[in-house]
Amino acid sequence: MGSYDFQKIEKKWQSYWKENRTFVAEKLSDKPKYYALDMFPYPSGKGLHVGHPLGYIATDIITRFKRLKGFNVLHPMGFDSFGLPAEQYAIRTGIHPAETTAKNISRYLEQMEALGFHYDPDAVLSTSDEDYYKWTQWIFLKLFKHWYNKAEEKAQPIEDLIAIFEKEGNANIVAATSQKEIFSADDWMGLDEKGHADILMNYRLAYNAYANVNWCPALGTVLANEEIKDGKSERGGHPVERKQMRQWMLRITAYADRLLYNLDNLDWSDSMKNMQSHWIGRSEGANITYDVDGVEDTITVFTTRPDTLYGNTFMVLAPEHDLVAKITTPEQQKEVEEYVTWAGSRSEKDRIADTTKTGVFTGGHAIHPLTGKKLPIWIADYVVITYGTGAIMAVPSGDQRDWDFAKKYDLEIVKVVEGGDDADAPYQPKDGIIINSEFLNGMVAKDAIGAMIDKLGEMGIGDKEVTYRQRDVIWSRQRYWGEPTPIYFKDGIAYPMDESELPLTLPEIDQYKPSESGEPPLSRAKNWKERPDGGLVDLNTMPGLAGSSWYFMRYPDAKNDEAFADRKIVDYWMPVDLYVGGTEHAVGHLMYSRFWTMFLHDMGEVSVEEPFTKLVNQGKIQGTSQLVLRKVEDGVQKFVSADMVSDAERADYAEIHVEVSMVQAQTLDLEEFKKDPMLEGKYEFITNAEGEFKTVPRAEKMSKSYYNTVDPVDICRDYGADTLRLYEMFLGPLEMAKPWNTDGITGVHTFLKRAFNLFINEQEEVIVTDEKATDEELKYLHQCIKKVEEDIERLAFNTCVPAFMVFAKEIGRLKCHKREILEPFLRVLSPFAPHFCEELWEKIGYKESILFSTYPTFEEKYLVESTINYPVQINGKVRAKIDAAADADKAAVEEIALGNETVQQWLEGKSPKKVIVVPGRIVNIVV
Ligand code: ANZ
Rounded CA separation 693/410 (Å): 69
| Residue 441 Cβ contacting ligand 1 at under 6 Å | no
Pick from 302, 316, 403, 469 the residue to mutate for probing ligand 1's pocket: most ligand atoms within 8 Å of its CB: 302
- Do residues 138 and 499 touch, judged by C-beta distance below 8 A? yes
Tell me phi and psi for residue 622, to 5 degrees. -85, 155
Average the pLDDT over 900-910 and give the result. Answer: 90
Which value, to the nearest 10 degrees, does the dihedral of the CA atoms of residues 51, 56, 57, 60 take?
Answer: 180
Report how far apart, in Å, the C-alpha atoms of 511 and of each of 97, 256, 287, 481 are.
11, 40, 51, 12
Question: Higher confidence at residue 788 or residue 709?
Answer: 788
| Residue 384 Cβ contacting ligand 1 at under 6 Å | yes
Convert the pLDDT of each residue in 347-383 to its tens digit: 777 777 777 889 999 999 999 999 999 999 999 999 9
Convert the pLDDT of each residue in 318-328 to its tens digit: 999 999 999 99
For residue 517, pLDDT beyond 90: no
Nearest to 418 by CA among 307, 302, 283: 307
- Identify the residue whose C-alpha is closest to ligand 1 atom 18: 383
Average the pLDDT over 636-657 and give the result. Answer: 92
For residue 128, pLDDT beyond 80: yes
Which of 506-520, 616-630, 819-833 has the weakest average pLDDT?
Answer: 506-520
Read off the pTM: 0.86
Q: From the CA of 391, give the closest atom in ligand 1.
A: 17
Question: Quick one: pLDDT at residue 127?
Answer: 98
Q: From the CA of 388, give the closest atom in ligand 1.
A: 14
For residue 14, pLDDT beyond 80: yes
Residue by residue, DSSP assigns 433-485 as BB-S-GGGTTSBHHHHHHHHHHHHHHHTSEEEEEEES--PEE--B--SSSPBP
CA–centroid distance, residue 324 to ligand 1 (Å): 19
Question: Quick one: pLDDT at residue 1?
Answer: 46
Convert the pLDDT of each residue in 678-692 to its tens digit: 777 888 999 999 999
| Residue 480 Cβ contacting ligand 1 at under 6 Å | no
Convert the pLDDT of each residue in 620-633 to its tens digit: 999 999 999 999 98
Question: Quick one: pLDDT at residue 245?
Answer: 81
In the three-class reduction of DSSP (H, G, I as helix; E, B as strand; rest coil), residue 391 is classed as strand
Question: Quick one: pLDDT at residue 217?
Answer: 82
CA–centroid distance, residue 284 to ligand 1 (Å): 11
Q: Percentage of the chain surpassing pLDDT 70?
A: 99
| Residue 307 Cβ contacting ligand 1 at under 6 Å | no
Convert the pLDDT of each residue in 258-280 to its tens digit: 999 999 999 999 999 999 999 99
| Residue 134 Cβ contacting ligand 1 at under 6 Å | no
Question: Quick one: pLDDT at residue 46?
Answer: 85
Average the pLDDT over 635-654 and give the result. Answer: 92
Pick from 305, 313, 446 the residue to mutate for probing ligand 1's pocket: most ligand atoms within 8 Å of its CB: 305
| Residue 55 Cβ contacting ligand 1 at under 6 Å | no
Fill in the amino acid letter for 726.
L
Average the pLDDT over 245-249 and give the result. Answer: 90
For residue 639, pLDDT beyond 60: yes
For 83, other C-beta atoms within 10 Å of its C-beta total 23
CA–centroid distance, residue 441 to ligand 1 (Å): 22
Question: Quick one: pLDDT at residue 681?
Answer: 81
Residue by residue, DSSP assigns 613-630 as SBEEEPPPEEEEEEEEEE
Question: Quick one: pLDDT at residue 68?
Answer: 98
- Identify the residue whose C-alpha is closest to ligand 1 atom 20: 383
Q: From the CA of 390, give the closest atom in ligand 1.
A: 17
pLDDT confidence tier of residue 572, bands split at 50, 70 and 90: very high
Pick from 351, 399, 437, 453 the residue to mutate for probing ligand 1's pocket: most ligand atoms within 8 Å of its CB: 399
For residue 770, pLDDT beyond 80: yes
pLDDT confidence tier of residue 2, bands split at 50, 70 and 90: low
Q: Pairing state of beta strands 683-686 and 877-885?
A: unpaired
Average the pLDDT over 206-230 and give the result. Answer: 81
CA–centroid distance, residue 313 to ligand 1 (Å): 14
Pick from 303, 312, 313 the residue to mutate for probing ligand 1's pocket: most ligand atoms within 8 Å of its CB: 303
CA–centroid distance, residue 303 to ligand 1 (Å): 5
Report how far apart, in Å, the C-alpha atoms of 529 and of each of 93, 489, 508, 539 are.
25, 10, 12, 8
pLDDT confidence tier of residue 227, bands split at 50, 70 and 90: confident
| Residue 414 Cβ contacting ligand 1 at under 6 Å | no
For residue 220, pLDDT beyond 80: no
Q: Percentage of the chain surpassing pLDDT 90?
A: 80
